[in-house]
Structure 1
């Protein structure tokens, strides 16, 4: 595996990632009514809608793309800004190739969750799989929001059942789950 990639999504597991892990919303205000803090947003469009509803997520992971195409200028400016993130306290940049999770992304996600400052993580590559480790990194009862292509925003409220499912998916990826767990600073 290239660079510091610790997990890679095998083709056989792709179909298991298609069903949403929680309810799907098309209205950010309604989603925010049901969400609990801290909120981790995965994806540019999700982050754009949350910001548009007046809420800055505790952590947002974006790659300036949506459905494999560049986001439009309005979304990019609102989320990433022209001279840094307009709505976030901290900005981090990481590399993470498509279909993978790198140690850099995982450890940056962990630090961002623990920071207590709103953090924008700009991913060079792809952030799509970051919802799974985010579910493991946030406290019980927190929210992870990610995009469901063509449908809307998925709200995952963390707890033992959804954590077990996310852990199972990560453990079945190709690579070194023990290194991923270490990068996320998860207990054994």
Structure 2
């Protein structure tokens, strides 16, 4: 549905929010719904709470996690499987995100492919006060408190990606 063009990749290198290494400290500042993007981030947050929505792909830094380090699906009330190739946002991922944000059930989204970009539409679609947490490799967890400013920035980023932008916004349920 949307592809990340090479000229936008550099913009994703800088954290969008403050960095944390302690999940309890992060959660003291977090709102709900809580969206986790990445296996290591989700694992750290599960030590303290169950995220409302989590995206995992069974990898960290492009290396497959051993079976004993995979996220326990039993920690979540719902499990959804989607395909999402690297450097893309598929319709399935966007629909799963919108459905999970509308659900009362905690939702684990198992991504066949790559979940790295899921933080962008999560920030674009989550309500004010929500928290989106994603990993900054070798540094920690980035916490983004969703507000009008962060939401607008991520919607603008989505608008600069290649592909069916209108369809993507429709799948997310945003305008």
Q: What is the TM-score normalised by the length of structure 1?
A: 0.91
**For 2:146 and 2:128, how far apart are their aligned partners in 1?**
5
Deviation at 1:170, TM superposition (A): 0.8
Q: Residues 45 and 75 of structure 1 are in contact (CA less than 8 Å); yes or no, is this contact kept in structure 2?
A: no
1:75-116 CA distances to partner (integer Å, 9 max, x unpaired)? 20xx1x3xxx12100000000000000111101110011011
In structure 2, what is the equivalent of residue 91 of structure 1? Answer: 79
Of 54, 61, 71, the match for 1:67: 61
Residue number in structure 2 paired with 1:46: 41
- Kept in 1, the 8 Å contact 2:125–2:151? The answer is no
The count of residues paired between Structure 1 and Structure 2 equals 175
Q: Which residue of 1 aligns with 2:8?
A: 13
Residue of structure 2 in register with 1:3 after alignment: none
Aligned-residue RMSD, C-alpha: 0.9
Please list every run of 5 or more consecutive structure 1 residues that lacks an aligned counterpart in the other structure.
Answer: 1-5
Tell me which residue corresponds to 1:32.
27
- Point out where structure 2 has 5 or more consecutive residues left out of the alignment: none
Quote the Cα distance in structure 2 between the aligned partners of 1:28 and 1:111.
26
Name segments (4+ residues, structure 1) moved above 3 Å.
none
Match of 2:149 in 1: 161
137, 156, 160: which one pairs with 1:149?
137
Counterparts of 1:92-131 in structure 2 under 5 Å? 92-131=80-119
Residue 74 of structure 1, CA deviation: 3.4
